[in-house]
Amino acid sequence: MEYTQILKRAYEIARDYRALWLFGFLLALTSGAGSSAGSGNNGIRFDARDFRRGPDFDFRGFPDFRFDAPSMEAIWSLAIVLICFIVLLTVAAGIARYVAENAIVRMVNDYEESGVKISARQGLKLGWSRTALRLFLIDLLVGLAFALAVILLLLLAAAPLLAFLTDVVALRVAGGVMAAGLGILFGFILVVAGILLAQVMNLVRRACILEDLGVMDALRRGFALARGRPGDVLIMALILFGIAIGYMLLMLPVFVLILIVAGVLSGLPALLVGGLFSLFSQGTLPWIAAGVVGIPLFFLVMILSGGFLGGLLATFDSSAWTLLYRELLALEKGGKNTLHGHLPAADVSVEA
Sequential DSSP letters for 265-307: HHHHHHHHHHHHHHTT--TTHHHHHHHHHHHHHHHHHHHHHHH
Please check whether residue 150 is in contact with residue 186, taking contact to mean a CB–CB distance below 8 angstroms: no
Listed in sequence order, the DSSP H helices in 18-71 are 19-30
pLDDT of residue 348: 37
Residue 1's identity, in one-letter code, is M
Are the C-beta atoms of residues 200 and 166 closer than 8 Å to each other? Answer: no
Helix 230-250 × helix 3-16 angle, to 10°: 50
Residues of the chain where predicted confidence (pLDDT) is lower than 70 = 32-71, 283, 335-352
Q: What is the pLDDT of residue 267?
A: 84
Mean of all residue pLDDT scores within the chain: 82
Q: Rounded to an integer, what distance in angstroms lies between the CA atom of residue 316 and that of residue 18?
A: 12
Cβ–Cβ under 8 Å, residues 297 and 270: yes
Give pLDDT, residue 59. Answer: 44
pLDDT at 79: 84
Distance in angstroms (rounded) separating the CA atoms of residues 246 and 85: 37
Report the C-alpha gap between 110 and 90 in whole angstroms.
30
Tell me what pLDDT residue 71 has.
Answer: 66
Do the Cβ atoms of 330 and 341 come closer than 8 Å? yes
Q: What is the pLDDT of residues 75-97, one digit of tens each?
A: 787 888 889 989 898 889 889 99
- One-character DSSP codes across 90-134: HHHHHHHHHHHHHHHHHHHHHHHHH-----HHHHHHHHSSHHHHH
* Structure confidence at residue 162 (pLDDT): 86
Where is 66: in which H helix or E strand? none
Write out the H or E segment, with its range, that includes residue 2. none
pLDDT at 335: 62
Whether this model's pTM surpasses 0.85: no
